[in-house]
């Protein structure tokens, strides 16, 4: 479990166009909860709704963060925004992400559907 998938942790090797995930500083094998008590690892804007509710990080929460990363890459904005961190977290915890194809025309329907699935509120749907 990486626990901090975000654009700043992705590098692209231009000659091959390969994307590489970096910065495994807070990554954990197996049980993703091994951290200091009361500390929530990761970047709040990229955290899955279940993490905001206190659930343990897992592969599905990393997939959600990948969805936020792709959403930002393709739309130049986050799926949830707010005037404060609290407002951003409230929206991420309760609202559905906007459909990417409503913000950016010309996307392949399969790509918009993939991002929507990655941003599913229920971890089982990712």
Residues annotated as part of the active site? 3
CB 82 within 8 A of CB 88: yes
Spatial neighbors of 61 by CB under 8 A, at least 6 apart, are 1, 3, 32, 47, 48, 50, 51, 55, 123
CA dist., res. 46 & res. 22, Å (int): 16
Would you say 1 and 21 are in contact if contact means Cβ atoms under 8 Å apart?
Answer: no
Ramachandran angles phi, psi of 9, nearest 5° = -110, 15
């Amino acid at each position: 479990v990486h626990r901090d998938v975000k654009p700043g942790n992705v590098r692209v090797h231009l000659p091959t166009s390969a994307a590489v995930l970096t910065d495994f500083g807070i990554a954990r094998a197996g049980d993703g909860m091994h951290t200091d008590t009361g500390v929530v690892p990761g970047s709040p804007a990229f955290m899955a709704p279940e993490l905001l509710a206190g659930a343990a990080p897992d592969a599905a929460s990393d997939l959600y963060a990948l969805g936020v990363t792709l959403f930002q890459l393709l739309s130049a904005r986050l799926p949830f925004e707010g005037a404060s961190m609290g407002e951003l977290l409230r929206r991420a915890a309760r609202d559905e992400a906007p459909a990417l194809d409503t913000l950016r025309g010309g996307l392949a329907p399969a790509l918009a559907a993939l991002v929507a699935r990655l941003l599913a509120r229920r971890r089982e749907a990712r």
